[in-house]
Amino acid sequence: DAGVTQSPTHLIKTRGQQVTLRCSPKSGHDTVSWYQQALGQGPQFIFQYYEEEERQRGNFPDRFSGHQFPNYSSELNVNALLLGDSALYLCASSPGQVRGETQYFGPGTRLLVL
Amino acid sequence: GNSVTQMEGPVTLSEEAFLTINCTYTATGYPSLFWYVQYPGEGLQLLLKATKADDKGSNKGFEATYRKETTSFHLEKGSVQVSDSAVYFCALDLSGNTPLVFGKGTRLSVIA
């Protein structure tokens, strides 16, 4: 059983560019959340998708957008990249909107903005 | 708001030493509590969890007890190994509709 997978593993972009990160959830999971982890910090919640809709959103600007597909996979898009967007982007999946249900994390995509 | 506070690292221990990493939380409601571990260059792995007061989560020799009266979920291990060197994150989850709230993480280094 494959766990959460993310692509690409690493990415280098320049300021002002746009980037798309991809995530496939663990089999049987229908909820996908995205987190940003800056160097030396804990992950910060960006948004969560369930049933192809954004259900929750953290304190991130509109430059951050996403999408969930019918097969539950998800994309994170960031427009007009800033140097401060350099971070590890983590995708997590879970089986539905249930309290205490474990979120399983992927290995992350490390984004460097120059 | 909801928040998690962890003891600041880094923590450096000799192999077979006793480990405690403190974690306290503030939450509106009754959270589930988690410890995640992040090995160098990797994503997060769930280490253990507890979903209600007085529950004890355990895994791979690590333990943590959900203490509602002190709003704490301290991580302990009786004898650490070099392979336990990683960053440990305490987190809470209020419901299936809210995201995980993480502490800043505690880096543990175990030396032989």
Report yes or no: A35 and A46 within 8 Å, Cβ to Cβ: yes
Range picked from A81-85, A92-96, B4-8 for highest mean pLDDT = A81-85
**How large is the average pLDDT for residues A81-103?**
87
Report yes or no: A49 and A68 within 8 Å, Cβ to Cβ: yes
DSSP labels, B16-41: T--EEE-EEEE-SS--EEEEEEE-TT
Taking an 8 Å cut-off on Cβ atoms, the answer to whether A105 and B98 are in contact is: no
**How large is the average pLDDT for residues A41-57?**
93
Taking an 8 Å cut-off on Cβ atoms, the answer to whether B96 and A99 are in contact is: yes
B interface test, pick of A103, A104, A109 with most B CB neighbours within 10 Å:
A103
Report yes or no: A31 and A93 within 8 Å, Cβ to Cβ: yes
Mean pLDDT of chain A: 93
- Residue A100 confidence (pLDDT): 62
Distance of CA B68 to the CA centre of its chain: 15
The encoded tokens of residue A97 equal 């909107």
Q: Where are the beta strands (DSSP E) in chain B?
A: 3-6, 11-14, 19-21, 23-26, 32-38, 44-50, 56-59, 62-65, 75-77, 86-93, 101-102, 106-111
The shortest C-alpha distance from B105 to chain A (Å) reads 6
Higher pLDDT, A1 or B48: B48
Given a cut of 60, whether residue B97 has pLDDT beyond it is: no
Cα of first residue to Cα of last residue in chain B, in angstroms, is 41
Angle at A82 between CA A9 and CA A60, to 5 degrees: 85
Q: How does residue B13 score in pLDDT terms, banded at 50, 70 and 90?
A: very high
Higher pLDDT, A43 or B98: A43
Q: How does residue A96 score in pLDDT terms, banded at 50, 70 and 90?
A: confident
Choose among B43, B89, B99: nearest Cβ to A42: B89
Nearest to B14 by CA among B86, B107, B82: B82
**How far is residue A98's CA from residue A79's CA, in Å, rounded to a whole number?**
32
Nearest to A95 by CA among A65, A50, A55, A53: A50
The encoded tokens of residue A34 equal 């995205």
pLDDT digits (tens, 9 = 90+) for A20-35: 999 999 998 999 999 9
